[in-house]
Chain A
Amino acid sequence: NAGVTQTPKFQVLKTGQSMTLQCAQDMNHEYMSWYRQDPGMGLRLIHYSVGAGITDQGEVPNGYNVSRSTTEDFPLRLLSAAPSQTSVYFCASSYISSASWTGELFFGEGSRLTVL
């Protein structure tokens, strides 16, 4: 199984440029999310989705957009890149059972973004 696949693995942007980080999962997970990882700060939630057509903001949503048109895909768009968005980005997915969300996440391998 591929699990959670992120592309690209590395990207360098200039300030003001836009781009999309792609995320796809083949586990039929309802829940998908995007985190950014910065040294000494752990992982911070950017946006998440509990199903196709449903998205919500996390802790640090400013400067990022998401959409969920299918169960499998959850792209993250940077509208106008800034140096503060230099980070490693992780996509993660999980099941949502009928009873509750357990928080057990499956992560992609990450996308390292540098904004100059």
Chain B
Amino acid sequence: AQSVTQLGSHVSVSEGALVLLRCNYSSSVPPYLFWYVQYPNQGLQLLLKYTSAATLVKGINGFEAEFKKSETSFHLTKPSAHMSDAAEYFCAVTRMDSSYKLIFGSGTRLLVRP
């Protein structure tokens, strides 16, 4: 069965430091991959989406993610963390069987230290 693994339930960085949030998907390449962000007491919102057009995907708020088929990864990065980036981040993939189901990872909470 398809799955998504996010390494690290909590990641803590200093303001201005590199942000790296890890996501690995199961071996079959899914049609679409996503990163969603959830700010406290809010719903999720789309950060970026991979659709096979380009392996490096740029999203909102300076985030980007690189699709690496050889590593089955879709890690999220940002060169310089800002306090406002503190949130929970979810990696997600669509299923291979083209059903209308999105599979989410368990989430990574990003803490930004002043």
- State the A residues within 8 Å of B (CB): 4, 31, 33, 35, 40-45, 48, 50, 56, 58-59, 90, 92, 96, 100-105, 107-110
Kindly list chain B residues whose C-beta atoms are within 8 Å of the C-beta of A90.
43-44
Q: In the bound complex, what is the Cα–Cα distance between A90 and B98 (angstroms)?
A: 22
Q: In the bound complex, what is the Cα–Cα distance between A33 and B103 (angstroms)?
A: 13
Kindly list chain A residues whose C-beta atoms are within 8 Å of the C-beta of B86.
none
Is A107 a contact partner of B44 (Cβ separation < 8 A)?
yes
Q: Would you list the 5 A-B pairs with minimal beta carbon distance, nearest first? A: A107-B43, A42-B104, A103-B94, A43-B104, A42-B106
Q: Does B17 contact A (CB under 8 A)?
A: no
Query: Contact flags (1/0) for B88-114 with A, using CB distance below 8 Å?
Result: 001010100010111011110000000
Is B106 a contact partner of A105 (Cβ separation < 8 A)?
no
Is A42 a contact partner of B107 (Cβ separation < 8 A)?
yes
Is A31 a contact partner of B43 (Cβ separation < 8 A)?
no
Q: A40-B9, A43-B104 are in contact. Are A104 and B49 (CB under 8 A)?
A: yes
Q: A42-B104, A43-B104, A48-B100 are in contact. Are A102 and B43 (CB under 8 A)?
A: no
Within the complex, the shortest CB–CB distance from A51 to chain B, in Å, comes to 11
Within the complex, the shortest CB–CB distance from A7 to chain B, in Å, comes to 14
Is A102 a contact partner of B51 (Cβ separation < 8 A)?
yes
Contact pick for B94, options A33, A35, A96, A101, CB 8 Å? A101
Contact pick for B106, options A40, A101, A108, CB 8 Å? A40
Kindly list chain B residues whose C-beta atoms are within 8 Å of the C-beta of A101.
94, 98, 100
Kindly list chain A residues whose C-beta atoms are within 8 Å of the C-beta of B98.
100-101
Q: Does B61 contact A (CB under 8 A)?
A: no
| Beyond A40-B107, A96-B100, A103-B94, 11 extra complex contacts between A and B, CB < 8 Å | A42-B106, A43-B44, A43-B90, A90-B44, A102-B49, A102-B51, A103-B102, A105-B44, A105-B46, A105-B102, A109-B41
Q: A43-B90, A102-B49, A107-B45 are in contact. Are A58 and B101 (CB under 8 A)?
A: yes
Kindly list chain B residues whose C-beta atoms are within 8 Å of the C-beta of A31.
100
Is A41 a contact partner of B106 (Cβ separation < 8 A)?
yes
Q: Does B70 contact A (CB under 8 A)?
A: no
